[in-house]
Amino acid sequence: MLLLGVGIVLLALKYLEIGVVAAWSWWVVLSPFALAVVWWTWADMSGYTKRKAMERESARKQERIDKNRAQMGLGTKKSGRR
């Protein structure tokens, strides 16, 4: 998302001919969009996106379990106790 934001800002500056960006080549201005495509392709192919989604789901699940245990008055689960 950062690359898209940078790309949009650079695109607007180039189109409106503001500052030093007006003198830059279009290739330089549009390069953040290409980098974003490369990043998304790598993230999907490497499994990074799926791993992050699974981590978020696991964290939400654990928060829900802890909240329900607290509401029942059971407290949090202690490891190592019998």
* In-domain check, residue 25: yes
pLDDT of residue 74: 82
Q: For 9-13, 19-23, 34-38, 50-54, which range has the lowest pLDDT when averaged over its residues?
A: 50-54
For the chain, the domain total comes to 1
The sign of the dihedral angle between the CA atoms of 27, 33, 35, 41 is negative
Each residue's pLDDT tens digit, 67-80: 998 888 887 666 55
* In-domain check, residue 81: no
* In-domain check, residue 76: no
- Is pLDDT at 13 greater than 90 in this prediction? yes
The DSSP-derived string for 39-70 is HHHHHHHHTHHHHHHHHHHHHHHHHHHHHHHH
* In-domain check, residue 47: yes
Q: What are phi and psi of 75, to 5 degrees?
A: 75, -175
* In-domain check, residue 77: no
Q: Can you give the residue range of the structural domain that contains 47?
A: 2-70
pLDDT of residue 56: 94
Each residue's pLDDT tens digit, 32-60: 999 999 999 999 899 988 888 899 999 99
DSSP, res 24: S
* In-domain check, residue 82: no
Cβ of 43: how many Cβ atoms within 10 Å? 14
